[in-house]
Structures are given as C-alpha cells and as structure tokens.
Amino acid sequence: MPPLTTDALVLRTLPLGEMSVVAVLLTRSKGKVRAVAKGARGPGHRYQSSLQPLSEVRTTLYGREGTELFRLGAVELLRSSEPPNSNLESLLALEYCAELFEAFLPPEARDDDAYRLGRSCVTALKQRGPAGTAVMRYAEAWTLKLHGLYPSLSRCLACRQPITMGLCFDHTDARAVCSNCGSKRTEILDADSRALLRSALRLSPSNFALRTEGIDLTPIATFHRVLIESHLGRSLNSSRVIESVLRETVRPS
Ligand SMILES: [Zn+2]
C-alpha cells in the first residue's frame, strides 16, 4: 500500500519498549487504526506533545495492505486539545472521551460523525473552561446514538406510547422502557433528566454545557453508564478514576 497521508484525532498511546509508543488514531480516511510511533518516548522525543488525547494531527501511515499495525511517519499538529490553563476537569474529560470513542469504534471503518463529535467536544472544552462533566455526558449520549444504542426519550420501545415520566431498564431485553412497562425499582432516568436530555442533546456540546450549567448531571451519568456497560460488558477504565477525582476537586458549592 502506498503511504497514506490523513488527518486524525489521537485516541490513546500505549508504551512500546523503551522509546516507542503504539498510537490509536481515529483517521479521516481509514477510521480507527493503530500505528507504531518510533522514538516517541525518551529524551528529545520526536512527536513532542502532538499525541495527546483528542489532539488533531496530520500524519502519514506506512504499512502493507491489510496490516493491523501501521508505522507512523511525521506528525503535524493541526489543533492541540490542550484546554485553557490545563484545567484538570477538562484534561480528564479529554482522556475519558477518547477512551469512550475508542471502545465503540470498530477498526478501520470510516466514521465522519464520530470524528466531528470528537472535534466539537474539544472545541467545547477549549471555549467553556470547566465544562468537562457536561462534555462527557454529551459525548456518551452521542456515541451511543451514533451506534444505534440510545433509547428513544419520547416513545417507549415496548408499548409504543409517548413517555411522560422517567425511563426504566428492562433486563430481559436489555433495553430502556417507560415507567408503565418497567418497575420503579429499575428506573434508570428520572423525568426531569429525561426532559433535559430531550431538549439539550440537539445543541452543540458547547451550548449543552451552557444549558446544563449548575445542574447535577449525576443521574444522567448513571443512565449512560448502564447503557455503556450493558453494551460493552465492562466499565470504561477512566470512568471510575474521573468520578472520584471530580468529586474531590469540583464539589458543587
Ligand atoms: Zn411502555
């Protein structure tokens, strides 16, 4: 295969030996790929800070047709994901969103929607200061939506009636249903949070953060966690760490 130059969002890097990393990238032209970045670690490393989560880069991939592991050529940083003042909540959100996207993206399938979602989440984190929590909830909702895994917030999948209260989880069919079809015990989303999501998910992540400012998004985090874990069969590595760090540092006043 001739070398392929493409724009990409960095999802993650994993150390490889003393000096290198494997970078997981969401590329514009090939979707999610893995590529070895030789000399990315150690003194004077050649990729500098361009391999941070959700930074946007232009790079060249080398490898045979059908390879599962490319070699990364030069990397040009198009847009750093670095939030203003290295805000901790935003840095954690970048890491979390990148892990979330990676977990849901199949290898080597172009996904412009996911790419745009990633970019717009970075924009929100750069514009809005401490909007990390809101951006994570937004990224979860839209990742689930893009993969056809988000339940309707307006009509029940079981009885086809408009939903007026909250949503419950039907464990038999692993799906969200209205409060008439489910039992209160299994409620995963209260009525207010459902109404908020219905109106706010159409906004950009930046305006979603503005719209939800001062609102406790914990019920939405719980709702999304049920959906994510029921699909992946596991929790995301960074989710637990982040929730505990944020509880300590950005306690609502
Ligand atoms: Zn129903």
| Main-chain dihedrals φ then ψ at residue 161, nearest 5 degrees | -90, 155
- What distance in angstroms lies between residue 152's CA and the mean position of ligand 1's atoms? 11
Residue 246: predicted pLDDT: 66
- What distance in angstroms lies between residue 116's CA and the mean position of ligand 1's atoms? 34
Residue 60: predicted pLDDT: 96
Residue 237: predicted pLDDT: 86
| pLDDT digits 0-9 by tens, 199-230 | 999 999 999 999 999 999 999 999 999 999 98
- What distance in angstroms lies between residue 76's CA and the mean position of ligand 1's atoms? 51
Residue 240: predicted pLDDT: 76
| Main-chain dihedrals φ then ψ at residue 15, nearest 5 degrees | -60, 140
- What distance in angstroms lies between residue 19's CA and the mean position of ligand 1's atoms? 56
Residue 65: predicted pLDDT: 83
Number of Cβ atoms within 10 Å of the Cβ of 55: 21
Cα distance between residue 107 and residue 99, in whole Å: 14
- What distance in angstroms lies between residue 160's CA and the mean position of ligand 1's atoms? 6
Contacts of 151 (CB under 8 A, 6+ apart): 157, 167, 175, 176, 227
Residue 253: predicted pLDDT: 45
Residue 184: predicted pLDDT: 78
Contacts of 184 (CB under 8 A, 6+ apart): 168
pTM: 0.91
Query: Quick one: fold of 4-79?
Result: OB fold (Dihydrolipoamide Acetyltransferase, E2P) (2.40.50)
CA distances from 187 to 179, 180, 184, 199, 219 (A): 7, 11, 5, 20, 11
Cα distance between residue 56 and residue 9, in whole Å: 5
Pick from 246, 238, 241: nearest CA to 96: 238
Domain spans, the chain: 4-79, 86-249
Q: Are strands 187-189 and 175-178 parallel, antiparallel or unpaired?
A: unpaired
- What distance in angstroms lies between residue 167's CA and the mean position of ligand 1's atoms? 9
- What distance in angstroms lies between residue 179's CA and the mean position of ligand 1's atoms? 7
- What distance in angstroms lies between residue 197's CA and the mean position of ligand 1's atoms? 19
Residue 121: predicted pLDDT: 96
CB of 58 within 8 A of CB of 5?
A: yes
Cα distance between residue 226 and residue 6, in whole Å: 35
- What distance in angstroms lies between residue 162's CA and the mean position of ligand 1's atoms? 8
Residue 47: predicted pLDDT: 79
- What distance in angstroms lies between residue 194's CA and the mean position of ligand 1's atoms? 15
Ligand 1 (ion): residues with CB under 5 Å are 156, 158-159, 177-178, 181
- What distance in angstroms lies between residue 136's CA and the mean position of ligand 1's atoms? 28
Q: Which two tokens stand for residue 82?
A: 């670095």
Contacts of 66 (CB under 8 A, 6+ apart): none
Instruction: Reply yes or no on domain 86-249 having CATH 3.10.180.10.
Output: no
- What distance in angstroms lies between residue 227's CA and the mean position of ligand 1's atoms? 18
- What distance in angstroms lies between residue 230's CA and the mean position of ligand 1's atoms? 20
pLDDT < 70 stretches in the chain: 129, 246-253
- What distance in angstroms lies between residue 182's CA and the mean position of ligand 1's atoms? 7
